[in-house]
C-alpha cells in the first residue's frame, strides 16, 4: 500500500511537471537520478548541525562570534566539510497563524550573525546549509500545527511563506550553498500542493543554490513536492530496535532495514537522499525512541557507548550507497563548551565516544564520493 501510494503521487507530480514547464525545469542544479550527487562530482556530505545558543544565558557567544570560529576549527580538524545552521522563527502554539522572526534576538541581529558564521565556514572550506526552524513557544511539536479552518490555514501559510522567503533572501545574500524550505511540516506537507509549488518557485527566484526539505523520518514518503527540489531530506531519527536491551547486531540489522526503505524512495523519485538530521542521545536504549527530547527525562542512565553504537550502525548501513549523499549530525552548539541547552545525556557528541566514531567515519570513503577522492 505504501509503495503504491508513493508511485501514484510521483506519477501525478511528473504529469503536472510536464504540463507546467516552469515546474518541470525548476530543479536544475543537479542532474536527474538517484545518483545525481555522485554524477555531479560532489564529495559526500560529512556534516554537522550547529545549533544557536541561548543569548540570554550566553550573550556574545552565538553564530558569527569568536566562539563559533573556535567550534568551526574543531569541526574542520574532525574532517567536516558541510555545516547546517538553524535560525528560528517562533509561533505561540499549534493553532497560531503568525510566525515571528525575533527568536532570541532581533531579526536583524540574527541576519548579521548568519552572514558572519557563513563567512567563517567558507573560510575553512566548508559549505553551508541553512534551515529555518520553527519554535513552538508553548508545548507541542511543529509537525502537528493545525490552525483548524481554511481561513486559519491560509493565514498561517501566508506567514510561513514570508518567513521562508525572508530567510531564502538572507541565505542568498550570505552566499549559503543549500537551503531547506521547511522542517517537519508533517501536518501539511502531503497536501496544499499549489501553496508549496508557488512557494518553491518563489524561493528559486531569490535563492540560486540547492534546495531540500527536512521531512520527519515517518513523513518522507508522503511529501508532495520532492520533484521540485534537489535532494530528498530526512530527519533520520529512525528507531533501530523495538525493545530495550537490544544487541549490537540488532541495531545493525535495524539500520539495514531502513536502507531498503529509503533506497526505494530514492529510486522511485529518482533523487539522492541526505540525512538533514541524524543523532542519538547519550543514554541507554537511545535508539528505541530516538526522538525523545532529553530535557523531559528523569532517572536517565547515561551511556556514551549507546550513542556511539547507534550512530555507527547507521553509518555502516547507509554510507556504501551511491544514492546517499551524506548526513548532518544533530548537533553541536555555536559555543563548543555550551552546556546550558541539554544535559550530559543529550544529543551532542562533543567529548564523547561518538566524537571518535565521527572522526573515523569522516575519514572513510563514502559510496557517493567521486572516485578520485581517495
pLDDT of residue 23: 33
Cell of 129: 546549509
Q: CA-to-CA distance for 247 and 309, rounded, in angstroms?
A: 10
Count other Cβ atoms within 10 Å, centred on residue 10: 16
pLDDT of residue 342: 85
Close Cβ partners of 180 (under 8 Å, ≥ 6 residues apart): 129, 130, 131, 132, 211, 212, 213, 214, 233, 276
Q: Are 370 and 328 in contact (CB under 8 A)?
A: no
Does the structure show a pLDDT above 60 at 4? Answer: no
Q: Is the dihedral of CA 308, 336, 179, 159 positive or negative?
A: positive
Domains with residue ranges and CATH for the chain: 2-373 (3.20.20.80)
Q: Which of 136, 50, 48, 46 is nearest to 87 (CA)?
A: 50
Does the structure show a pLDDT above 80 at 12? Answer: no
Rounded to a whole number, what is the distance in angstroms from the first to the last CA of the chain?
A: 42
Whose cell is 539500520? That residue is: 255
pLDDT of residue 373: 60
Residue 326: band (very low, low, confident or very high) from pLDDT cuts 50, 70, 90: very high
pLDDT of residue 372: 57
Does the structure show a pLDDT above 60 at 127? Answer: yes
CA angle, 19 as apex, 14 and 25 as ends, to 5°? 70
Whose cell is 509537525? That residue is: 143
Residue 7: band (very low, low, confident or very high) from pLDDT cuts 50, 70, 90: very low
Per-residue model confidence as pLDDT tens digits over 49-82: 999 987 778 888 999 999 999 999 999 999 999 9
pLDDT of residue 348: 95
Question: Which one has a higher pLDDT value, 66 or 4?
Answer: 66
Per-residue model confidence as pLDDT tens digits over 235-288: 999 999 999 999 999 999 999 999 999 999 999 999 999 999 999 999 999 999
pLDDT of residue 292: 84
pLDDT of residue 55: 76
Q: CA-to-CA distance for 22 and 332, rounded, in angstroms?
A: 39
Cell of 286: 537511545
Question: Which one has a higher pLDDT value, 14 or 96?
Answer: 96
Residue 159: band (very low, low, confident or very high) from pLDDT cuts 50, 70, 90: very high
Does the structure show a pLDDT above 70 at 1? Answer: no
pLDDT of residue 29: 66
Count other Cβ atoms within 10 Å, centred on residue 55: 16
Per-residue model confidence as pLDDT tens digits over 18-51: 333 333 333 346 888 999 999 999 999 999 999 9
Per-residue model confidence as pLDDT tens digits over 207-244: 999 999 999 999 999 999 999 999 999 999 999 999 99
Count other Cβ atoms within 10 Å, centred on residue 125: 9
Q: Which of 18, 60, 150, 47 is nearest to 335 (CA)?
A: 60
CA dist list (Å): 132 to 161, 215, 301:
12, 13, 33
Q: Are 254 and 243 in contact (CB under 8 A)?
A: no
pLDDT of residue 298: 80
Residue 42 per-residue DSSP state: P
Q: CA-to-CA distance for 309 and 155, rounded, in angstroms?
A: 45
Question: To the nearest whole percent, how much of the chain has pLDDT over 70?
Answer: 91
pLDDT of residue 10: 42
Q: Which residues pair with 337 in a beta bridge?
A: none
Q: CA-to-CA distance for 347 and 332, rounded, in angstroms?
A: 8
Close Cβ partners of 331 (under 8 Å, ≥ 6 residues apart): 48, 49, 50, 51, 277, 279, 347, 348
Per-residue model confidence as pLDDT tens digits over 88-121: 999 999 999 999 999 988 999 999 999 999 999 9
Q: Are 7 and 268 in contact (CB under 8 A)?
A: yes
Q: CA-to-CA distance for 205 and 22, rounded, in angstroms?
A: 11
pLDDT of residue 22: 34
Amino acid at each position: 500500500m505504501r509503495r503504491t501510494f508513493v508511485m501514484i503521487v510521483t506519477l501525478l507530480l511528473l504529469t503536472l511537471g510536464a504540463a507546467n514547464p516552469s515546474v518541470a525545469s525548476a530543479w536544475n542544479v543537479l542532474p536527474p537520478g538517484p545518483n545525481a550527487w555522485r554524477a555531479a562530482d560532489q564529495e559526500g556530505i560529512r556534516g554537522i548541525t550547529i545549533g544557536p545558543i541561548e543569548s540570554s544565558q550566553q550573550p556574545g557567544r552565538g553564530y558569527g562570534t569568536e566562539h563559533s570560529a573556535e567550534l568551526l576549527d574543531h569541526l574542520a580538524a574532525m574532517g567536516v566539510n558541510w555545516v547546517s545552521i538553524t535560525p528560528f522563527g517562533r509561533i505561540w502554539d499549534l493553532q497560531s497563524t503568525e510566525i515571528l522572526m525575533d527568536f532570541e534576538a532581533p531579526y536583524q541581529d540574527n541576519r548579521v550573525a548568519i552572514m558572519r558564521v557563513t563567512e567563517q565556514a567558507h573560510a575553512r572550506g566548508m559549505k553551508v546549509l541553512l534551515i529555518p526552524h520553527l519554535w513552538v513557544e508553548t508545548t507541542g511539536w511543529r509537525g502537528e500545527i493545525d490552525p483548524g479552518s481554511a481561513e486559519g490555514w491560509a493565514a498561517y501559510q501566508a506567514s510561513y511563506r514570508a518567513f521562508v522567503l525572508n530567510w531564502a533572501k538572507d541565505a542568498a545574500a550570505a552566499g549559503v550553498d543549500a537551503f531547506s524550505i521547511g522542517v517537519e511540516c508533517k501536518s501539511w506537507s502531503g497536501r496544499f500542493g499549489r501553496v508549496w509549488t508557488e512557494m518553491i518557485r518563489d524561493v528559486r527566484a531569490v535563492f540560486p543554490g540547492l534546495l531540500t526539505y527536512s521531512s520527519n523520518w515517518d513523513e518522507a514518503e508522503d511529501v508532495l513536492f520532492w520533484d521540485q527540489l534537489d535532494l530528498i531530506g530526512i530527519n533520520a531519527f529512525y528507531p533501530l530496535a523495538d525493545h530495550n536491551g537490544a544487541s549490537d547486531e540488532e541495531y545493525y540489522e535495524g539500520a539495514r532495514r531502513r536502507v531498503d526503505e529509503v533506497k526505494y524512495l530514492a529510486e522511485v523519485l529518482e533523487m539522492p537522499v541526505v540525512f538533514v538530521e541524524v543523532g542519538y542521545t547519550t543514554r541507554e536504549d537511545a535508539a528505541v525512541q530516538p526522538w525523545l527530547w532529553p530535557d523531559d527525562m528523569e532517572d536517565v542512565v547515561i551511556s556514551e557507548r549507546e550513542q556511539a553504537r547507534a550512530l555507527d550502525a547507521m553509518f555502516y548501513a547507509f554510507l556504501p550507497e551511491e544514492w546517499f549523499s551524506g548526513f548532518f549530525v544533530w548537533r553541536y552548539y555555536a559555543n563548543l563548551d555550551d552546556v546550558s541547552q541539554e544535559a550530559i545525556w543529550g544529543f551532542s557528541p562533543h567529548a564523547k565516544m561518538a566524537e571518535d566514531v565521527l572522526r573515523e567515519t569522516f575519514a572513510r570513503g563514502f559510496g557517493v564520493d567521486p572516485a578520485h577522492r581517495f
